[in-house]
A = this chain, B = another copy of it.
Amino acid sequence: MKWYTEDWSEECKFSIAYDKHLHTEQTPFQKIDFYQGKEFGTFFTLDGLMMVNEKDEFIYHDMIVHPAMATNPNIKNVLIIGGGDGGTAREVLRYGFVENVVMAEIDERVFRLSQQYLPVTAAGVEEDPRMTLHFEDGLAYVKNAADKSFDLILVDSTDPISVGEGLFTTAFYEECHRVLTDDGILINQHESPYFAEYAENMKKAHHKIKAIFPITHVYQYHMPTYPSGHWLFGFASKSLSPLQIDEQQWQSYGLQTKYYNTDLHRGAFALPSYVREKLGHE
């Protein structure tokens, strides 16, 4: 048996077995590796870090998309930054009232390889007439976008290293604020509270966003293949609180979701005391 191993910290590592190393490639942006195992199915890594696997991608993609969609039932224009595997677009496109989805993914190879090896996330995305793909830097895309042109921005990026780094800056969050409508929502990577390095990035991201958006929250979910399994997204908005949602409205859409539900929505925003403290919350 062969093992893919990821260092979660200097003193902790996580390993997944695979049968086949399906593909390896160094693009101008990062190293992409696709693997196939039994339990986790097909999975891929960027620069050696687990991104998506067939066993638990549903958790991540439910949680990046549905809390925002449940908070604002009038979302029509959506921008996805990154998200090259297609899973975030797949979930957004399930909402019939969404009219336009732009995906700005810096590395086209991630998307093409996902189409080839990971249809569970990528299939059908390019074909949807509401979808526009831009293979370019997300930060550059946002800088050139018109004021108030999106109702929702989903930052589906890597950690704040290499190509993901610019997506954790104040400059980027300010541009997001500018291009969002008055009821606009930004969902961004918020890393994890448990291991020191990730917790540091969590604190920095939250600090920067709090200085720009009037409403900011952090929410959590159980993502077993990400470091510590305790993973976070940031929720920032200009006017809407994710703590006040119309549960019946969301339920009326009739979407079957394996992780998300409206009870869990409320629960996800209730953070452990040590996480609150690190974020500077009461």
Residues of A in contact with B (beta carbons under 8 Å apart): 1, 3, 9-17, 37-40, 56, 58-59, 194, 220, 222, 224, 228-230, 257-261, 263-274, 276
Contact = CB atoms under 8 A, between A and B. Distances in A.
Given A15-B15, A40-B11, A266 B270 contact: yes
Contacts of A228: 222, 224, 229
A269 B10 CA distance: 33
Contact of A17 (B11, B16, B224, B264): B11
A273 B66 CA distance: 13
Contacts of A269: 267
Contact of A264 (B13, B59, B257, B270): B270
Contact of A39 (B9, B15, B229, B267): B9
A270 B9 CA distance: 30
A200 to B, nearest CB: 15
A269 B270 CA distance: 11
7 contacts: A12-B40, A15-B15, A222-B229, A222-B272, A259-B274, A261-B272, A263-B270
Given A9-B39, A12-B39, A15-B12, A272 B264 contact: yes
Given A229-B229, A229-B230, A272 B59 contact: yes
- Assembly stoichiometry (copies): 2
A58 B274 CA distance: 10
A224 to B, nearest CB: 4
Contacts of A268: 267, 270
Nearest to A193: B222
Contacts of A260: 272-273
Given A12-B40, A229-B229, A261-B276, 18 more contacts: A1-B11, A10-B39, A11-B17, A11-B37, A11-B38, A12-B14, A12-B15, A12-B39, A222-B222, A224-B228, A224-B230, A257-B273, A258-B272, A259-B272, A261-B273, A263-B270, A264-B272, A266-B270
B11 A39 contact: yes
Nearest to A15: B13
A139 B262 CA distance: 39
A97 to B, nearest CB: 22
A220 B220 CA distance: 12
Contacts of A194: 56, 222, 224
Nearest to A226: B229
Nearest to A256: B273
A258 B194 CA distance: 12
Sorted nearest first, the 9 A-B pairs with minimum C-beta distance are: A229-B229, A267-B267, A267-B270, A11-B17, A11-B39, A222-B230, A224-B228, A263-B270, A259-B272
